Structure 1
Protein backbone atom coordinates (compact mmCIF):
# COMPACT_ATOMS: atom_id res chain seq x y z
CA UNK A 1 0.00 0.00 0.00
CA UNK A 2 1.16 3.51 -0.88
CA UNK A 3 -0.57 6.06 1.37
CA UNK A 4 -0.35 9.76 0.58
CA UNK A 5 -2.15 12.84 1.83
CA UNK A 6 -4.51 14.50 -0.64
CA UNK A 7 -3.21 18.05 -0.37
CA UNK A 8 -2.35 20.88 -2.74
CA UNK A 9 1.12 19.52 -3.47
CA UNK A 10 -0.38 16.20 -4.63
CA UNK A 11 -2.73 18.04 -6.95
CA UNK A 12 0.17 20.07 -8.34
CA UNK A 13 1.96 16.84 -9.17
CA UNK A 14 -1.13 15.37 -10.84
CA UNK A 15 -2.63 18.22 -12.91
CA UNK A 16 -5.89 17.94 -14.76
CA UNK A 17 -5.68 17.69 -18.57
CA UNK A 18 -5.12 21.13 -20.07
CA UNK A 19 -8.03 22.88 -21.74
CA UNK A 20 -7.37 24.39 -25.16
CA UNK A 21 -8.99 27.67 -26.12
CA UNK A 22 -10.13 26.19 -29.43
CA UNK A 23 -11.86 23.21 -27.78
CA UNK A 24 -15.57 22.83 -28.52
CA UNK A 25 -18.13 21.51 -26.05
CA UNK A 26 -17.80 17.92 -27.25
CA UNK A 27 -14.04 17.99 -26.68
CA UNK A 28 -14.65 19.31 -23.15
CA UNK A 29 -16.45 16.05 -22.38
CA UNK A 30 -19.99 14.66 -22.40
CA UNK A 31 -21.69 13.44 -19.21
CA UNK A 32 -24.89 11.43 -18.80
CA UNK A 33 -26.40 11.62 -15.31
CA UNK A 34 -29.13 9.08 -14.54
CA UNK A 35 -31.09 8.85 -11.32
CA UNK A 36 -33.66 10.65 -9.25
CA UNK A 37 -37.21 9.55 -8.49
CA UNK A 38 -40.61 11.07 -7.84
CA UNK A 39 -39.70 11.29 -4.14
CA UNK A 40 -36.53 13.36 -4.82
CA UNK A 41 -37.09 14.99 -8.23
CA UNK A 42 -34.44 17.67 -7.70
CA UNK A 43 -31.48 15.50 -6.69
CA UNK A 44 -30.25 15.15 -10.24
CA UNK A 45 -30.10 18.93 -10.63
CA UNK A 46 -27.23 19.02 -8.14
CA UNK A 47 -25.25 16.33 -9.94
CA UNK A 48 -25.87 17.65 -13.43
CA UNK A 49 -24.99 21.23 -12.58
CA UNK A 50 -21.90 20.10 -10.67
CA UNK A 51 -20.66 18.28 -13.78
CA UNK A 52 -21.09 21.46 -15.80
CA UNK A 53 -19.43 23.58 -13.11
CA UNK A 54 -16.48 21.16 -13.15
CA UNK A 55 -16.00 21.96 -16.83
CA UNK A 56 -17.86 19.27 -18.79
CA UNK A 57 -18.97 20.59 -22.16
CA UNK A 58 -22.31 18.79 -22.42
CA UNK A 59 -24.61 17.14 -19.87
CA UNK A 60 -27.68 14.96 -20.35
CA UNK A 61 -29.92 14.12 -17.40
CA UNK A 62 -32.16 11.06 -17.34
CA UNK A 63 -34.91 10.63 -14.75
CA UNK A 64 -38.48 9.38 -14.37
CA UNK A 65 -40.90 10.90 -16.86
CA UNK A 66 -42.99 12.67 -14.21
CA UNK A 67 -39.96 14.71 -13.09
CA UNK A 68 -38.21 15.17 -16.42
CA UNK A 69 -39.96 18.33 -17.64
CA UNK A 70 -39.53 20.34 -14.44
CA UNK A 71 -35.92 19.21 -14.09
CA UNK A 72 -35.19 20.22 -17.66
CA UNK A 73 -36.55 23.71 -17.00
CA UNK A 74 -34.52 23.92 -13.77
CA UNK A 75 -31.26 23.12 -15.63
CA UNK A 76 -31.74 24.57 -19.14
CA UNK A 77 -28.09 23.94 -20.00
CA UNK A 78 -28.68 20.17 -19.97
CA UNK A 79 -30.59 17.89 -22.32
CA UNK A 80 -33.37 15.83 -20.74
CA UNK A 81 -34.25 12.14 -21.12
CA UNK A 82 -37.54 10.82 -19.73
CA UNK A 83 -37.40 7.27 -18.35
CA UNK A 84 -40.11 4.75 -17.45
CA UNK A 85 -40.91 4.45 -13.75
CA UNK A 86 -41.99 1.73 -11.34
CA UNK A 87 -45.21 2.06 -9.35
CA UNK A 88 -43.22 3.50 -6.43
CA UNK A 89 -41.79 6.29 -8.59
CA UNK A 90 -38.30 4.82 -9.03
CA UNK A 91 -36.64 4.26 -12.42
CA UNK A 92 -37.80 0.98 -13.98
CA UNK A 93 -35.34 -1.71 -14.98
CA UNK A 94 -36.37 -1.51 -18.64
CA UNK A 95 -34.73 1.92 -18.81
CA UNK A 96 -31.36 0.14 -19.03
CA UNK A 97 -31.40 -0.26 -22.82
CA UNK A 98 -32.13 3.44 -23.44
CA UNK A 99 -29.46 4.49 -20.98
CA UNK A 100 -26.91 2.15 -22.55
CA UNK A 101 -27.65 3.59 -25.99
CA UNK A 102 -27.26 7.19 -24.79
CA UNK A 103 -24.15 6.40 -22.74
CA UNK A 104 -22.25 5.17 -25.79
CA UNK A 105 -22.20 8.76 -27.05
CA UNK A 106 -20.88 10.09 -23.75
CA UNK A 107 -17.55 10.02 -21.94
CA UNK A 108 -18.90 9.51 -18.42
CA UNK A 109 -22.06 7.96 -16.99
CA UNK A 110 -23.09 8.84 -13.44
CA UNK A 111 -25.73 6.43 -12.15
CA UNK A 112 -27.54 6.49 -8.83
CA UNK A 113 -28.01 9.99 -7.33
CA UNK A 114 -31.49 10.24 -5.88
CA UNK A 115 -32.32 6.56 -6.42
CA UNK A 116 -33.47 4.14 -3.71
CA UNK A 117 -32.60 0.49 -3.21
CA UNK A 118 -35.00 -2.08 -4.65
CA UNK A 119 -35.01 -5.29 -6.63
CA UNK A 120 -35.75 -3.29 -9.79
CA UNK A 121 -32.79 -1.00 -9.12
CA UNK A 122 -30.54 -4.04 -8.76
CA UNK A 123 -31.86 -5.35 -12.08
CA UNK A 124 -31.41 -1.97 -13.76
CA UNK A 125 -27.75 -1.76 -12.74
CA UNK A 126 -27.00 -5.35 -13.80
CA UNK A 127 -28.68 -4.91 -17.18
CA UNK A 128 -26.93 -1.62 -17.80
CA UNK A 129 -23.50 -3.00 -16.94
CA UNK A 130 -24.00 -5.89 -19.33
CA UNK A 131 -25.17 -3.58 -22.13
CA UNK A 132 -22.51 -0.86 -21.85
CA UNK A 133 -19.38 -0.94 -23.94
CA UNK A 134 -16.10 0.09 -22.35
CA UNK A 135 -14.25 2.47 -22.15
CA UNK A 136 -16.99 4.74 -20.80
CA UNK A 137 -16.13 5.94 -17.28
CA UNK A 138 -18.92 4.80 -14.96
CA UNK A 139 -19.59 6.29 -11.54
CA UNK A 140 -21.93 4.27 -9.30
CA UNK A 141 -23.43 6.24 -6.43
CA UNK A 142 -26.13 5.71 -3.80
CA UNK A 143 -28.54 2.86 -4.69
CA UNK A 144 -26.63 2.03 -7.89
CA UNK A 145 -23.55 1.53 -5.76
CA UNK A 146 -25.13 -0.86 -3.28
CA UNK A 147 -26.74 -2.73 -6.19
CA UNK A 148 -23.22 -3.58 -7.36
CA UNK A 149 -22.50 -5.86 -4.40
CA UNK A 150 -22.98 -9.01 -6.51
CA UNK A 151 -21.54 -7.61 -9.74
CA UNK A 152 -17.80 -7.80 -9.07
CA UNK A 153 -16.92 -9.65 -12.25
CA UNK A 154 -18.97 -7.32 -14.44
CA UNK A 155 -17.33 -4.26 -12.89
CA UNK A 156 -13.83 -5.71 -13.16
CA UNK A 157 -14.26 -5.85 -16.97
CA UNK A 158 -14.07 -2.05 -16.99
CA UNK A 159 -10.41 -2.24 -15.95
CA UNK A 160 -10.36 0.54 -13.38
CA UNK A 161 -12.76 2.97 -15.07
CA UNK A 162 -15.60 2.32 -12.61
CA UNK A 163 -15.74 4.66 -9.60
CA UNK A 164 -17.57 3.66 -6.40
CA UNK A 165 -18.41 6.42 -3.91
CA UNK A 166 -19.76 4.83 -0.70
CA UNK A 167 -20.14 6.36 2.72
CA UNK A 168 -19.61 3.95 5.61
CA UNK A 169 -23.22 2.72 5.63
CA UNK A 170 -23.17 1.99 1.91
CA UNK A 171 -19.80 0.29 2.26
CA UNK A 172 -21.27 -1.96 4.93
CA UNK A 173 -24.07 -2.91 2.55
CA UNK A 174 -21.63 -3.42 -0.31
CA UNK A 175 -19.24 -5.64 1.64
CA UNK A 176 -21.34 -7.24 4.37
CA UNK A 177 -18.97 -5.81 7.00
CA UNK A 178 -20.14 -4.17 10.20
CA UNK A 179 -19.89 -0.39 10.21
CA UNK A 180 -17.59 -0.59 13.23
CA UNK A 181 -15.15 -2.77 11.29
CA UNK A 182 -15.08 -0.28 8.43
CA UNK A 183 -14.51 2.63 10.81
CA UNK A 184 -11.65 0.73 12.46
CA UNK A 185 -9.79 0.29 9.15
CA UNK A 186 -11.23 2.61 6.46
CA UNK A 187 -8.07 2.69 4.33
CA UNK A 188 -7.70 -1.07 4.35
CA UNK A 189 -11.39 -1.51 3.54
CA UNK A 190 -11.21 0.89 0.60
CA UNK A 191 -8.12 -0.86 -0.75
CA UNK A 192 -9.62 -4.33 -0.45
CA UNK A 193 -12.81 -3.30 -2.22
CA UNK A 194 -10.83 -1.52 -4.94
CA UNK A 195 -8.81 -4.68 -5.55
CA UNK A 196 -11.84 -6.95 -5.31
CA UNK A 197 -13.95 -4.98 -7.78
CA UNK A 198 -11.11 -3.68 -9.96
CA UNK A 199 -12.50 -0.18 -9.37
CA UNK A 200 -11.57 3.17 -7.93
CA UNK A 201 -13.16 3.57 -4.48
CA UNK A 202 -13.79 6.82 -2.63
CA UNK A 203 -14.85 5.95 0.92
CA UNK A 204 -16.50 9.13 2.20
CA UNK A 205 -16.47 10.34 5.81
CA UNK A 206 -14.98 13.12 7.90
CA UNK A 207 -11.69 11.53 6.88
CA UNK A 208 -12.04 10.09 3.36
CA UNK A 209 -9.91 7.48 1.61
CA UNK A 210 -9.44 7.07 -2.13
CA UNK A 211 -8.04 3.75 -3.38
CA UNK A 212 -7.43 2.05 -6.72
CA UNK A 213 -6.80 -1.56 -7.77
CA UNK A 214 -3.03 -0.96 -8.00
CA UNK A 215 -2.80 -0.21 -4.27
CA UNK A 216 -2.60 3.57 -4.35
CA UNK A 217 -4.39 5.25 -1.47
CA UNK A 218 -5.00 8.91 -0.66
CA UNK A 219 -6.24 10.27 2.66
CA UNK A 220 -8.29 13.48 2.65
CA UNK A 221 -9.26 15.24 5.86
CA UNK A 222 -9.78 18.78 4.59
CA UNK A 223 -13.57 18.89 4.64
CA UNK A 224 -15.93 20.15 7.33
CA UNK A 225 -18.99 19.05 9.28
CA UNK A 226 -21.25 21.28 7.18
CA UNK A 227 -20.80 18.94 4.23
CA UNK A 228 -22.79 16.30 6.12
CA UNK A 229 -26.02 17.53 4.58
CA UNK A 230 -28.56 16.30 2.05
CA UNK A 231 -27.39 16.60 -1.54
CA UNK A 232 -23.71 17.01 -0.72
CA UNK A 233 -22.82 13.60 -2.14
CA UNK A 234 -24.82 14.36 -5.30
CA UNK A 235 -22.63 17.41 -5.87
CA UNK A 236 -19.46 15.38 -5.30
CA UNK A 237 -20.58 12.77 -7.84
CA UNK A 238 -21.14 15.48 -10.42
CA UNK A 239 -17.70 17.00 -9.91
CA UNK A 240 -16.06 13.60 -10.33
CA UNK A 241 -18.05 12.88 -13.48
CA UNK A 242 -17.31 16.27 -14.99
CA UNK A 243 -13.58 15.99 -14.39
CA UNK A 244 -13.47 12.45 -15.74
CA UNK A 245 -15.29 13.58 -18.89
CA UNK A 246 -12.67 16.29 -19.38
CA UNK A 247 -10.06 13.56 -19.68
CA UNK A 248 -8.90 12.96 -16.13
CA UNK A 249 -8.28 9.37 -15.08
CA UNK A 250 -10.84 7.87 -12.73
CA UNK A 251 -8.43 8.11 -9.80
CA UNK A 252 -7.30 11.67 -10.49
CA UNK A 253 -10.83 12.90 -11.21
CA UNK A 254 -12.00 11.50 -7.87
CA UNK A 255 -9.03 13.02 -6.05
CA UNK A 256 -9.50 16.49 -7.53
CA UNK A 257 -13.23 16.29 -6.86
CA UNK A 258 -12.80 15.26 -3.23
CA UNK A 259 -10.42 18.17 -2.65
CA UNK A 260 -12.66 20.68 -4.48
CA UNK A 261 -15.78 19.51 -2.66
CA UNK A 262 -14.03 19.79 0.69
CA UNK A 263 -12.52 23.20 -0.12
CA UNK A 264 -15.93 24.52 -1.16
CA UNK A 265 -17.41 23.33 2.12
CA UNK A 266 -14.64 25.00 4.12
CA UNK A 267 -15.14 28.27 2.27
CA UNK A 268 -18.87 28.21 2.97
CA UNK A 269 -18.30 27.31 6.61
CA UNK A 270 -16.22 30.48 6.91
CA UNK A 271 -18.61 32.72 4.96
CA UNK A 272 -22.00 31.31 6.02
CA UNK A 273 -21.54 29.25 9.16
CA UNK A 274 -20.15 25.95 10.37
CA UNK A 275 -23.42 24.22 9.49
CA UNK A 276 -26.57 25.32 7.70
CA UNK A 277 -25.27 26.02 4.21
CA UNK A 278 -26.98 24.08 1.43
CA UNK A 279 -25.54 21.60 -1.03
CA UNK A 280 -26.59 23.81 -3.95
CA UNK A 281 -24.50 26.64 -2.51
CA UNK A 282 -21.38 24.56 -3.22
CA UNK A 283 -22.03 24.72 -6.96
CA UNK A 284 -20.93 28.30 -7.81
CA UNK A 285 -17.64 27.79 -5.95
CA UNK A 286 -16.48 24.83 -8.06
CA UNK A 287 -15.10 26.69 -11.13
CA UNK A 288 -13.12 29.22 -9.09
CA UNK A 289 -11.56 26.59 -6.83
CA UNK A 290 -10.54 24.43 -9.78
CA UNK A 291 -9.12 27.45 -11.60
CA UNK A 292 -7.20 28.72 -8.58
CA UNK A 293 -5.67 25.33 -7.87
CA UNK A 294 -4.81 24.67 -11.51
CA UNK A 295 -3.12 28.05 -11.92
CA UNK A 296 -1.17 27.77 -8.67
CA UNK A 297 -0.05 24.27 -9.62
CA UNK A 298 1.57 25.35 -12.88
Structure 2
Protein backbone atom coordinates (compact mmCIF):
# COMPACT_ATOMS: atom_id res chain seq x y z
CA UNK A 1 0.00 0.00 0.00
CA UNK A 2 1.64 3.24 -1.19
CA UNK A 3 1.84 5.93 1.47
CA UNK A 4 2.91 9.49 0.69
CA UNK A 5 4.67 11.60 3.31
CA UNK A 6 3.26 15.04 4.07
CA UNK A 7 6.12 17.49 3.64
CA UNK A 8 6.79 20.86 2.07
CA UNK A 9 6.73 19.34 -1.43
CA UNK A 10 3.34 17.74 -0.81
CA UNK A 11 1.91 21.00 0.53
CA UNK A 12 3.20 22.88 -2.52
CA UNK A 13 1.50 20.37 -4.78
CA UNK A 14 -1.77 20.66 -2.85
CA UNK A 15 -2.19 24.36 -1.97
CA UNK A 16 -5.04 25.66 0.14
CA UNK A 17 -7.74 27.72 -1.59
CA UNK A 18 -6.61 31.31 -1.72
CA UNK A 19 -8.47 33.92 0.28
CA UNK A 20 -9.51 36.48 -2.30
CA UNK A 21 -8.74 40.13 -1.70
CA UNK A 22 -11.90 41.85 -0.53
CA UNK A 23 -13.60 38.60 0.52
CA UNK A 24 -16.16 39.12 3.27
CA UNK A 25 -16.46 36.92 6.36
CA UNK A 26 -19.12 34.70 4.81
CA UNK A 27 -16.94 34.02 1.78
CA UNK A 28 -14.09 32.92 4.06
CA UNK A 29 -16.24 30.14 5.49
CA UNK A 30 -18.75 29.60 8.29
CA UNK A 31 -18.05 27.06 11.04
CA UNK A 32 -20.44 25.56 13.57
CA UNK A 33 -18.85 23.71 16.50
CA UNK A 34 -21.04 21.58 18.77
CA UNK A 35 -19.71 19.92 21.90
CA UNK A 36 -18.43 20.52 25.38
CA UNK A 37 -20.13 19.72 28.68
CA UNK A 38 -20.30 21.05 32.20
CA UNK A 39 -17.24 18.94 33.04
CA UNK A 40 -15.11 20.35 30.18
CA UNK A 41 -16.69 23.71 29.23
CA UNK A 42 -13.51 25.12 27.69
CA UNK A 43 -12.90 22.50 25.00
CA UNK A 44 -14.94 24.41 22.45
CA UNK A 45 -12.88 27.54 23.01
CA UNK A 46 -9.84 25.67 21.67
CA UNK A 47 -11.68 24.21 18.70
CA UNK A 48 -13.54 27.37 17.80
CA UNK A 49 -10.53 29.66 18.02
CA UNK A 50 -8.45 27.22 15.97
CA UNK A 51 -11.07 27.37 13.21
CA UNK A 52 -10.84 31.17 13.16
CA UNK A 53 -7.03 31.13 13.33
CA UNK A 54 -7.10 28.81 10.29
CA UNK A 55 -8.86 31.56 8.37
CA UNK A 56 -12.58 30.84 8.69
CA UNK A 57 -14.68 34.00 8.66
CA UNK A 58 -17.57 33.20 11.01
CA UNK A 59 -17.95 30.95 14.03
CA UNK A 60 -20.91 29.61 15.97
CA UNK A 61 -20.42 27.48 19.08
CA UNK A 62 -23.11 25.29 20.59
CA UNK A 63 -22.80 23.88 24.09
CA UNK A 64 -24.79 23.23 27.28
CA UNK A 65 -26.71 26.24 28.49
CA UNK A 66 -24.81 26.46 31.81
CA UNK A 67 -21.51 27.01 29.95
CA UNK A 68 -22.71 29.01 26.95
CA UNK A 69 -22.59 32.50 28.45
CA UNK A 70 -19.10 32.24 29.92
CA UNK A 71 -17.80 30.62 26.72
CA UNK A 72 -19.31 33.42 24.67
CA UNK A 73 -17.46 35.99 26.80
CA UNK A 74 -14.23 33.98 26.45
CA UNK A 75 -14.57 33.92 22.64
CA UNK A 76 -16.31 37.20 21.76
CA UNK A 77 -15.80 36.57 18.05
CA UNK A 78 -18.31 33.70 18.16
CA UNK A 79 -22.09 33.52 18.25
CA UNK A 80 -23.36 31.17 20.98
CA UNK A 81 -26.11 28.57 20.91
CA UNK A 82 -27.30 27.33 24.32
CA UNK A 83 -28.34 23.66 24.35
CA UNK A 84 -30.30 21.51 26.82
CA UNK A 85 -28.24 19.22 29.04
CA UNK A 86 -28.64 15.78 30.56
CA UNK A 87 -28.49 15.34 34.33
CA UNK A 88 -24.78 14.53 34.07
CA UNK A 89 -24.06 17.83 32.29
CA UNK A 90 -23.64 16.36 28.79
CA UNK A 91 -25.57 17.71 25.79
CA UNK A 92 -29.03 16.17 25.56
CA UNK A 93 -30.12 14.27 22.45
CA UNK A 94 -32.95 16.71 21.71
CA UNK A 95 -30.34 19.38 20.97
CA UNK A 96 -30.19 17.95 17.45
CA UNK A 97 -33.57 19.56 16.76
CA UNK A 98 -32.21 22.98 17.77
CA UNK A 99 -29.09 22.63 15.63
CA UNK A 100 -30.68 21.06 12.54
CA UNK A 101 -31.91 24.35 10.97
CA UNK A 102 -28.49 25.95 11.43
CA UNK A 103 -26.44 23.19 9.79
CA UNK A 104 -27.34 24.07 6.22
CA UNK A 105 -26.12 27.62 6.79
CA UNK A 106 -22.57 26.56 7.70
CA UNK A 107 -19.69 25.40 5.53
CA UNK A 108 -18.16 23.11 8.15
CA UNK A 109 -19.75 21.35 11.10
CA UNK A 110 -17.47 20.08 13.90
CA UNK A 111 -19.07 17.77 16.45
CA UNK A 112 -17.54 16.12 19.50
CA UNK A 113 -14.83 18.14 21.27
CA UNK A 114 -15.39 17.91 25.02
CA UNK A 115 -18.22 15.36 24.74
CA UNK A 116 -18.33 11.98 26.51
CA UNK A 117 -19.45 8.58 25.24
CA UNK A 118 -23.08 7.82 26.13
CA UNK A 119 -26.30 6.54 24.59
CA UNK A 120 -27.62 10.11 24.37
CA UNK A 121 -24.46 11.23 22.59
CA UNK A 122 -25.06 8.45 20.07
CA UNK A 123 -28.64 9.69 19.55
CA UNK A 124 -27.49 13.30 19.22
CA UNK A 125 -24.89 12.46 16.58
CA UNK A 126 -27.34 10.29 14.63
CA UNK A 127 -29.86 13.14 14.72
CA UNK A 128 -27.30 15.67 13.47
CA UNK A 129 -26.12 13.45 10.62
CA UNK A 130 -29.70 12.77 9.58
CA UNK A 131 -30.35 16.52 9.45
CA UNK A 132 -27.08 17.66 7.94
CA UNK A 133 -27.13 19.10 4.43
CA UNK A 134 -24.66 16.97 2.41
CA UNK A 135 -22.64 19.92 0.98
CA UNK A 136 -21.43 20.80 4.49
CA UNK A 137 -18.06 19.41 5.53
CA UNK A 138 -18.53 17.40 8.71
CA UNK A 139 -15.72 16.71 11.18
CA UNK A 140 -16.43 14.14 13.88
CA UNK A 141 -14.07 14.17 16.86
CA UNK A 142 -13.87 12.47 20.27
CA UNK A 143 -17.16 10.90 21.45
CA UNK A 144 -18.98 11.98 18.28
CA UNK A 145 -16.84 9.78 16.09
CA UNK A 146 -17.20 6.70 18.29
CA UNK A 147 -20.96 7.28 18.10
CA UNK A 148 -20.94 6.35 14.40
CA UNK A 149 -19.42 2.90 14.91
CA UNK A 150 -22.74 1.34 13.85
CA UNK A 151 -23.86 4.14 11.52
CA UNK A 152 -21.75 3.50 8.42
CA UNK A 153 -24.68 3.90 5.97
CA UNK A 154 -25.53 7.28 7.50
CA UNK A 155 -21.90 8.41 7.29
CA UNK A 156 -21.55 7.16 3.71
CA UNK A 157 -24.63 9.17 2.74
CA UNK A 158 -22.44 12.26 3.11
CA UNK A 159 -20.05 10.84 0.53
CA UNK A 160 -16.65 12.53 0.65
CA UNK A 161 -17.56 15.38 2.97
CA UNK A 162 -16.87 13.51 6.23
CA UNK A 163 -13.64 13.60 8.24
CA UNK A 164 -13.08 11.38 11.30
CA UNK A 165 -10.22 12.30 13.68
CA UNK A 166 -9.64 9.40 16.13
CA UNK A 167 -6.68 8.69 18.37
CA UNK A 168 -5.77 5.03 18.87
CA UNK A 169 -8.24 4.45 21.70
CA UNK A 170 -11.11 5.96 19.74
CA UNK A 171 -10.11 4.00 16.65
CA UNK A 172 -10.31 0.81 18.72
CA UNK A 173 -13.94 1.62 19.60
CA UNK A 174 -14.74 2.70 16.05
CA UNK A 175 -13.20 -0.35 14.38
CA UNK A 176 -13.88 -3.06 16.96
CA UNK A 177 -10.15 -3.85 17.15
CA UNK A 178 -8.09 -3.81 20.29
CA UNK A 179 -5.99 -0.72 20.92
CA UNK A 180 -2.91 -2.94 20.66
CA UNK A 181 -3.99 -4.10 17.21
CA UNK A 182 -4.50 -0.49 16.08
CA UNK A 183 -1.05 0.46 17.37
CA UNK A 184 0.51 -2.55 15.63
CA UNK A 185 -0.77 -1.48 12.20
CA UNK A 186 -2.27 2.04 12.28
CA UNK A 187 -1.88 2.42 8.53
CA UNK A 188 -4.18 -0.53 7.84
CA UNK A 189 -6.66 0.56 10.52
CA UNK A 190 -7.00 4.02 8.96
CA UNK A 191 -7.32 2.65 5.42
CA UNK A 192 -9.91 0.03 6.42
CA UNK A 193 -12.11 2.54 8.24
CA UNK A 194 -11.85 5.07 5.40
CA UNK A 195 -13.20 2.43 3.00
CA UNK A 196 -15.83 1.23 5.47
CA UNK A 197 -17.25 4.69 6.18
CA UNK A 198 -16.54 6.32 2.82
CA UNK A 199 -14.80 9.10 4.74
CA UNK A 200 -11.40 10.65 5.30
CA UNK A 201 -9.83 9.24 8.45
CA UNK A 202 -7.10 11.10 10.32
CA UNK A 203 -5.62 8.61 12.81
CA UNK A 204 -3.59 10.62 15.30
CA UNK A 205 -0.32 9.52 16.89
CA UNK A 206 3.40 10.22 16.91
CA UNK A 207 3.11 9.04 13.32
CA UNK A 208 -0.31 10.05 12.03
CA UNK A 209 -2.03 8.49 9.03
CA UNK A 210 -4.63 10.09 6.77
CA UNK A 211 -6.63 7.71 4.61
CA UNK A 212 -9.19 8.55 1.95
CA UNK A 213 -12.06 6.36 0.75
CA UNK A 214 -10.44 6.24 -2.70
CA UNK A 215 -7.34 4.52 -1.30
CA UNK A 216 -5.15 7.62 -0.92
CA UNK A 217 -2.87 7.28 2.09
CA UNK A 218 -0.68 9.95 3.71
CA UNK A 219 1.55 9.97 6.77
CA UNK A 220 3.08 12.62 8.97
CA UNK A 221 5.51 12.06 11.81
CA UNK A 222 6.44 14.67 14.38
CA UNK A 223 8.78 14.14 17.32
CA UNK A 224 7.02 16.40 19.83
CA UNK A 225 5.90 14.76 23.04
CA UNK A 226 4.59 18.13 24.26
CA UNK A 227 1.64 17.78 21.89
CA UNK A 228 0.41 14.88 24.02
CA UNK A 229 -1.52 17.19 26.31
CA UNK A 230 -5.14 17.92 27.10
CA UNK A 231 -6.84 20.05 24.46
CA UNK A 232 -4.31 19.38 21.71
CA UNK A 233 -6.80 17.27 19.76
CA UNK A 234 -9.46 19.97 20.17
CA UNK A 235 -7.13 22.43 18.44
CA UNK A 236 -6.49 19.95 15.63
CA UNK A 237 -10.22 19.41 15.06
CA UNK A 238 -10.70 23.17 14.79
CA UNK A 239 -7.88 23.43 12.28
CA UNK A 240 -9.46 20.75 10.11
CA UNK A 241 -12.83 22.48 10.31
CA UNK A 242 -11.51 25.95 9.61
CA UNK A 243 -9.57 24.82 6.54
CA UNK A 244 -12.58 22.84 5.32
CA UNK A 245 -14.79 25.91 5.68
CA UNK A 246 -12.34 27.86 3.51
CA UNK A 247 -12.95 25.31 0.75
CA UNK A 248 -10.13 22.80 1.16
CA UNK A 249 -10.96 19.25 0.09
CA UNK A 250 -11.25 16.86 3.07
CA UNK A 251 -7.94 15.06 2.50
CA UNK A 252 -6.13 18.38 2.04
CA UNK A 253 -7.77 19.97 5.08
CA UNK A 254 -6.67 17.02 7.22
CA UNK A 255 -3.14 17.01 5.82
CA UNK A 256 -2.57 20.75 6.21
CA UNK A 257 -4.06 20.64 9.70
CA UNK A 258 -1.79 17.86 10.95
CA UNK A 259 1.23 19.60 9.43
CA UNK A 260 0.47 23.00 11.00
CA UNK A 261 -0.40 21.36 14.33
CA UNK A 262 2.96 19.58 14.37
CA UNK A 263 4.88 22.69 13.35
CA UNK A 264 3.23 24.68 16.13
CA UNK A 265 4.17 22.03 18.67
CA UNK A 266 7.78 21.95 17.54
CA UNK A 267 8.03 25.73 17.66
CA UNK A 268 6.69 25.82 21.21
CA UNK A 269 9.01 23.00 22.22
CA UNK A 270 11.94 25.23 21.26
CA UNK A 271 10.52 28.39 22.84
CA UNK A 272 9.00 26.96 26.04
CA UNK A 273 10.45 23.49 26.51
CA UNK A 274 9.76 19.99 25.22
CA UNK A 275 6.87 19.50 27.66
CA UNK A 276 4.70 21.88 29.63
CA UNK A 277 3.34 24.16 26.95
CA UNK A 278 -0.44 24.40 26.76
CA UNK A 279 -2.85 23.54 23.96
CA UNK A 280 -4.11 27.14 23.91
CA UNK A 281 -0.56 28.34 23.24
CA UNK A 282 -0.69 26.61 19.87
CA UNK A 283 -3.45 28.94 18.69
CA UNK A 284 -1.58 32.25 18.12
CA UNK A 285 1.05 30.45 16.04
CA UNK A 286 -1.39 29.09 13.45
CA UNK A 287 -1.80 32.11 11.12
CA UNK A 288 1.92 32.72 10.67
CA UNK A 289 2.65 29.02 10.15
CA UNK A 290 -0.06 28.79 7.50
CA UNK A 291 1.34 31.87 5.77
CA UNK A 292 4.89 30.48 5.85
CA UNK A 293 3.85 27.07 4.55
CA UNK A 294 1.77 28.62 1.77
CA UNK A 295 4.80 30.63 0.55
CA UNK A 296 7.24 27.71 0.44
Do Structure 1 and Structure 2 share a fold, with TM-score over 0.5?
yes
Contact 1:85 1:92 in 2 (8 A): yes
Residue 6, structure 1, aligned to residue 1, structure 2: no
The answer for unaligned runs of 5 or more in structure 2 is none
Tell me if 1:18 matches 2:18.
yes
Measure the CA separation in 1 of the matches of 2:100 and 2:9.
Answer: 38
3-state SS, counterpart of residue 25 of structure 2:
coil
* Cα distance in 2 for residues equivalent to 1:288 and 1:199: 30
Distance between the aligned counterparts of 1:112 and 1:118, measured in 2? 12
Name which of structure 1's ranges 180-189 and 243-252 shifts more when overlaid on structure 2. Answer: 180-189
**Corresponding position of 1:196:** 196
Matches within 5 A, 1:110-259: 110-259=110-259
* Count of aligned pairs between the two proteins: 296
CA shift, 1:280, in A, is 0.1
Matches of 1:89 and 1:10 in 2, distance apart? 43
Q: Deviations over 1:23-68 (max 9, x none)?
A: 0000000000000000011110000000000000000000000000
Q: In structure 2, what is the Cα distance between the partners aligned to 1:279 and 1:295?
A: 26
RMSD: 0.7
Aligned residues of 1:51 and 1:243 also touching (Cα < 8 A): yes
Q: Does 1:66 align with 2:66?
A: yes
Partners in 2 of 1:57 and 1:223 — Cα distance?
32
Given the two structures, how large is their TM-score scaled by the length of structure 2?
Answer: 0.99
**Contact (CA 8 Å) 1:2, 1:215: kept in 2 or not?**
no
- After superposition, residues 258-277 of structure 1 pair within 5 angstroms as 258-277=258-277
Aligned to 1:282: 282
What CA distance in whole angstroms lies between the structure 2 residues aligned with 1:180 and 1:86? 33
Structure 1 spans left out of the alignment, 5+ residues:
none
Structure 1 segments (4+ residues) deviating >3 Å: none
Structure 2 counterpart SS, 1:229: coil
Q: 2:294: which partner in 1?
A: 294
The C-alpha deviation readout for 1:132-169, integer Å capped at 9, x for no partner, is 12111100000001101011000001111110000000
**Cα distance, 1:222 vs structure 2:** 2.3
State the shift of 1:2 in Å.
3.2
CA distance in structure 1 between the partners assigned to 2:236 and 2:223 by the alignment = 12
Distance apart, 1:264 and its partner CA: 0.1
> Which residue number corresponds to residue 89 of structure 2?
89
SS in 1 for 2:91: coil
Alignment partners' CA distance in 2, 1:165 and 1:255: 12
Give 1:31-46 correspondences, 5 Å limit: 31-46=31-46
Q: Distance in 1 between matches of 2:273 and 2:237?
A: 24
Deviations 1:98-153 (A, max 9, x none): 21211110000000000001110001011111111211110000000110101100
TM-score by length of 1: 0.98
Q: Which is further off, 255-264 or 124-133? A: 124-133
217-226 or 38-47: bigger deviation: 217-226
SS at match of 1:40: coil
